[in-house]
Amino acid sequence: RIYKAKGRPSDNPMIVHIARASDIGQLTPMLSPQIVEIIDNFWPGPLTLVMKAKEIIPPVTRGGLGTAALRMPDNPVAAALIKASGTPIAAPSANLSGRPSPTDFESVFNDMDGRIEMILDGGNADVGIESTVIDVTDPKKILMLRPGGMPREILEKTLGTCLEVPDSQSKKRSPGTRYRHYAPDIPVIIYKRGEKFPDLDLRNAAYAGINEPEFKIAKKIKKY
Ligand code: AMP
Ligand code: MG
């Protein structure tokens, strides 16, 4: 039903969310000191670990893979929902597949109204981008499958090792990289200060960025 509601390809697996670090033992056999250290440092938070899966995780959730993506979210409403349900929850972002991940109630409503039965409003997202996904199935070679809210530099410093980029073989283990993602339905222009600015009607434009642009744009989306 999640795949149907999102229009998500059925071989793109979902992240399984838990509310207590101790819940991880039922989902994966991989509880080495290295994994425990990662969890102690980064959970709850925007870091997803791809690990060997136990059979209890249904194949449909894993996209048929032998691995599962596991995470402990930091949002108190999400944590309360998982605790109250008494089971780990497979939960992707509440957007249509391919569209940007929502960060507030309104964006969820715009994408999903009529496709899901209810929306539980946990407030605006703190991070605003996807979780960082790392593959820890090989302890000697940790792979960065998707950049996200947990910066690479902080992970590498804590782990004392470089995160490797998946080669084409291991890319197969990262189904999410095969699909078009996070596409807004309006034109987006990347602009660097000092470059010639394209000819646009700025009265209907909005910007997202670190610095105010040097020309007048009607709306600011968000200051990062
Ligand atoms: P999202 O679609 O934002 O919920 O993020 C889930 C991401 O984790 C997608 O890029 C998935 O392809 C990826 N993912 C989930 N499970 C696995 C897995 N078992 N192995 C590799 N990547 C996974
Ligand atoms: Mg998503």
* Pocket mutation for ligand 1, best pick of 133, 181, 182 (most atoms within 8 Å of C-beta): 133
Please tell me the pTM assigned to this model.
0.86
Quote the CA–CA distance of 173 and 123 in Å, as a whole number. 33
More confident residue, 188 or 136: 136
* Closest listed ligand to the CA of 173: 1
Q: Please give the distance, rounded to the nearest whole angstrom, from the Cα atom of residue 7 to the centre of ligand 2.
A: 12
Residue 112 has pLDDT above 80, yes or no: yes
pLDDT at 184: 79
* Closest listed ligand to the CA of 133: 1
pLDDT at 157: 95
Under a CB-based contact definition with an 8 Å cutoff, are residues 104 and 127 in contact? no
pLDDT at 123: 93
Residue 170 has pLDDT above 70, yes or no: no
174 CB-near residues (< 8 Å, 6+ apart): 50, 133, 135, 143, 145, 146, 166
Closest atom of ligand 1 to 69 CA is 16
pLDDT at 182: 77
Residue 173 has pLDDT above 90, yes or no: no
pLDDT at 128: 79
Q: Which residue CA neighbors atom 1 of ligand 1 most closely?
A: 92
Residue 95 has pLDDT above 60, yes or no: yes
Closest atom of ligand 1 to 177 CA is 10
- The 10s digit of each residue's pLDDT in 35-78 is 999 999 999 999 999 999 999 999 999 999 999 999 999 999 99
Q: Please give the distance, rounded to the nearest whole angstrom, from the Cα atom of residue 97 to the centre of ligand 2.
A: 7
Mean pLDDT within 167-174: 69
- What is the CB neighbour count within 10 angstroms for residue 215? 11
* Closest listed ligand to the CA of 99: 2
pLDDT bracket for residue 93 (50, 70, 90): very high
Percent of the chain whose pLDDT exceeds 90? 66
Closest atom of ligand 1 to 92 CA is 4
pLDDT at 188: 83
Closest atom of ligand 1 to 65 CA is 19
Q: Which residues have any ligand 1 atom within 6 Å of their CB?
A: 12-15, 50, 62, 65, 67-69, 92-93, 130, 133, 145-146, 173-176
Quote the CA–CA distance of 201 and 217 in Å, as a whole number. 9
Q: Which residue CA neighbors atom 12 of ligand 1 most closely?
A: 176
- The 10s digit of each residue's pLDDT in 3-13 is 999 999 988 99
pLDDT at 224: 39
**Token match 């792979």: residue?**
143
**Token match 């394209």: residue?**
198
Helix ranges (H only) for 126-167 are: 152-159
- The 10s digit of each residue's pLDDT in 198-208 is 777 777 777 77
More confident residue, 96 or 175: 96
Mean pLDDT within 104-126: 94
* Pocket mutation for ligand 1, best pick of 12, 16, 51, 93 (most atoms within 8 Å of C-beta): 12
